[in-house]
Amino acid sequence: MTLQRTVALVALILASCNPPICATILMGFAERYMSDCLPIGNPTDTPEESLKYCEDIAFWEILDNTGKAEKRLLLASCDPGRKSWNTVMGPLHDPKPHGALWVHVPPERGSSSTPTKAQRITLKNYPEGHDFHPLGLEIYPSYGGNSSNLYVINHSRERTVIEQFLLNPADPTTATHIRTLTSPYFISPNSLTLTSPDSFYVSNDHLFTRRLFILGHFLPIIESILALPLSFVSHINLSPPSSSNDDAIIIKHTFAALFLPFPNGISLSPSGTQVALALTSQNKVLFYERDPATNVLTKRTHTIPVPFCPDNVRWTHGGTDDELIVTGHPHFPSITAVAANKTGAASASWVVSIHPNGNTTDKPTGKGEFDLDAPVSASSKISGWSMTTLFQSDGSEEGLMTSSTALKDPKSGVLYVSGLYDERGVVMCRPAK
Ligand SMILES: *[C@@H]1O[C@H](CO)[C@@H](O)[C@H](O)[C@H]1NC(C)=O
Ligand SMILES: *[C@@H]1O[C@H](CO)[C@@H](O)[C@H](O)[C@H]1NC(C)=O
Ligand SMILES: *[C@@H]1O[C@H](CO)[C@@H](O)[C@H](O)[C@H]1NC(C)=O
Ligand SMILES: CC(=O)N[C@H]1CO[C@H](CO)[C@@H](O)[C@@H]1O
């Protein structure tokens, strides 16, 4: 079976699990998008060096010595070569073109000046001739100007590894490579969330990967189609870089959650007591209660259905409670067509916000009662927990396609959205009053 045919097959079978909105013309959306949203990349960059096809974005908190917020920068992981190299969705033709990391300074609230463009981060001490295909990333806050540990999942030629870098706020465009983390438990890492400067949870999206010879063509697909609960989330503790000999970098591995179908984005809440996990093929987000002393996920507290295949999840520390921003793909067949580089293929974007600890205004609710301002309301597709649409696009040229992560800057009110296969990579939206 050729890859193209298998992709078409998954597309057909997965079609049933996703409410299609691609065909919907989102009236009025294009105008709002045109006035509110701007790409953060520089349009004059060459195609190979440009900020496009971005999987993940993360905030980097710059704090003073006492832990008070000074500023917040945005980091993005992008890969202009993604259409030739994608270990999750295929294809696996040419791993050579390199991905890159970018940094962006969010504009001040209410500022009307033209926002600055994102800058490419140079990788210092990165081994010569090695592949770099960045996927999930996260960075620890910087305190009083100290350097921060930055971890980036690298889908490279032979296997998926996690790269550890140091980034200093005095020179945010140079990331110094520290070491490469490998483990038999890194089967197909997709997303990670830090629990300290030297420890994190990491999700593995599949147990069988596409790199397996021959079987790699169908096992991951069969796993997705049947939603086999074969994957898992690990918690990893690292030795400090100074003490590291290569054998003992990972000093502890524990399974945090087992038997999951296609676990994808994972994120620790600002309070440290909750972990959210997206199950892509199930259109669900799971919430776990976490013991901060042991990192054990003590119990699953909620399972909240979302109206799309959720990709990444990120928390925003709101005024009264923490809010989870969930981003994903409303129509899986469309994103597989885009991944296969089909002429004219487009895939919609959808971002919602959920208050899992909501009081009377955010609770399990009936059908047709929430998100009524959205062009396509979440309640027209699902019933259950209420949520609010923050961003929606039908994937046409004017909008952003294949949204994978969104972040809201509580300070400036800016919403960032990354597009896994969008030429604009990341857009920044400043909602009009
Ligand atoms: C994708 O298709 C376009 C033309 O539609 C072509 O120029 C490009 O090289 C293709 N990319 C890959 C990775 O095959
Ligand atoms: C920076 O300081 C914080 C707070 O003291 C600490 O937890 C962190 O490990 C430091 N970062 C590095 C890279 O040493
Ligand atoms: C309940 O939630 C609403 C909206 O999120 C918020 O404005 C309100 O202050 C919350 N009330 C309590 C008691 O937390
Ligand atoms: C810096 C680094 O070690 N990167 C790794 C990314 O993946 C390739 C392929 O496995 C490795 O060779 C690189 O070492």
| Ligand 2 site, residue 141, Cβ cutoff 6 A | no
Report which ligand 4 atom has the smallest distance to the Cα of 132: 6
Closest listed ligand to the CA of 337: 1
Nearest-angstrom CA–CA distance, 171 and 122: 10
Q: How far is the CA of 410 from the centre of ligand 4 (A)?
A: 36
Beta bridge partners of residue 137, listed in sequence order: 152
Q: How far is the CA of 321 from the centre of ligand 3 (A)?
A: 8
Give the residue, by CA position, lying nearest to ligand 3 atom 3.
Answer: 361
Tokens 């909620």 belong to 302
| Ligand 2 site, residue 197, Cβ cutoff 6 A | yes
Write out pLDDT tens, residues 70-101: 999 999 999 988 776 555 555 555 555 578 99
Coil, helix or strand at residue 76: strand
Nearest-angstrom CA–CA distance, 376 and 394: 10
Nearest-angstrom CA–CA distance, 137 and 189: 11
Per-residue 3-state assignment (H helix, E strand, C coil) for 192-256: EEEEECCEEEEEECCCCCCCCCCHHHHHHHHHHHCCCCCEEEEEEEECCHHHCCHHHCEEEEEEE
| Ligand 2 site, residue 147, Cβ cutoff 6 A | yes
What pLDDT is recorded for position 165? 97
**How is residue 191 written in tokens?**
């997303």
Report which ligand 1 atom has the smallest distance to the Cα of 341: 1
Q: How far is the CA of 336 from the centre of ligand 1 (A)?
A: 15
The β-bridge relationship of strands 54-63 and 142-143 is parallel
> What is the C-alpha radius of gyration for the chain, rounded to an integer number of angstroms?
20
Report which ligand 1 atom has the smallest distance to the Cα of 94: 13
What pLDDT is recorded for position 311? 95
Give the residue, by CA position, lying nearest to ligand 1 atom 10.
Answer: 341
Q: Helix 3-14 crosses helix 215-225 at what angle (to 10 degrees)? A: 10
Q: How far is the CA of 356 from the centre of ligand 3 (A)?
A: 12
Q: Which helix (H) or strand (E) holds 190?
A: strand 189-196
| Ligand 3 site, residue 319, Cβ cutoff 6 A | no
| Ligand 4 site, residue 156, Cβ cutoff 6 A | yes
Q: Are 382 and 306 in contact (CB under 8 A)?
A: yes
Nearest-angstrom CA–CA distance, 406 and 349: 11
What pLDDT is recorded for position 8? 30
Nearest-angstrom CA–CA distance, 175 and 192: 18
Report which ligand 2 atom has the smallest distance to the Cα of 147: 13
What pLDDT is recorded for position 56? 96
pTM attached to this predicted model: 0.85
Q: Where are the beta strands (DSSP E) in 141-181?
A: 142-143, 148-155, 160-168, 171-181
Strand order of the sheet with strand 322-329? Answer: 309-317, 322-329, 349-354, 388-393
Closest listed ligand to the CA of 91: 1
Work out the widest C-alpha separation in the chain, in whole angstroms.
59
What pLDDT is recorded for position 17? 32
Query: Which parts of the chain register pLDDT below 50?
Result: 1-31, 211-213, 433
Give the burial string for 107-123 (b: 16+ CB within 10 Å, else e): beeeeeeebebbebbeb
Write out pLDDT tens, residues 173-232: 999 999 999 888 888 888 999 999 999 999 987 655 554 445 555 556 555 555 555 688
Q: Are 90 and 3 in contact (CB under 8 A)?
A: yes
| Ligand 3 site, residue 245, Cβ cutoff 6 A | no
Return the C-alpha torsion angle 382, 26, 55, 51, nearest 10.
Answer: -170
Domain borders along the chain are 1-39+325-433
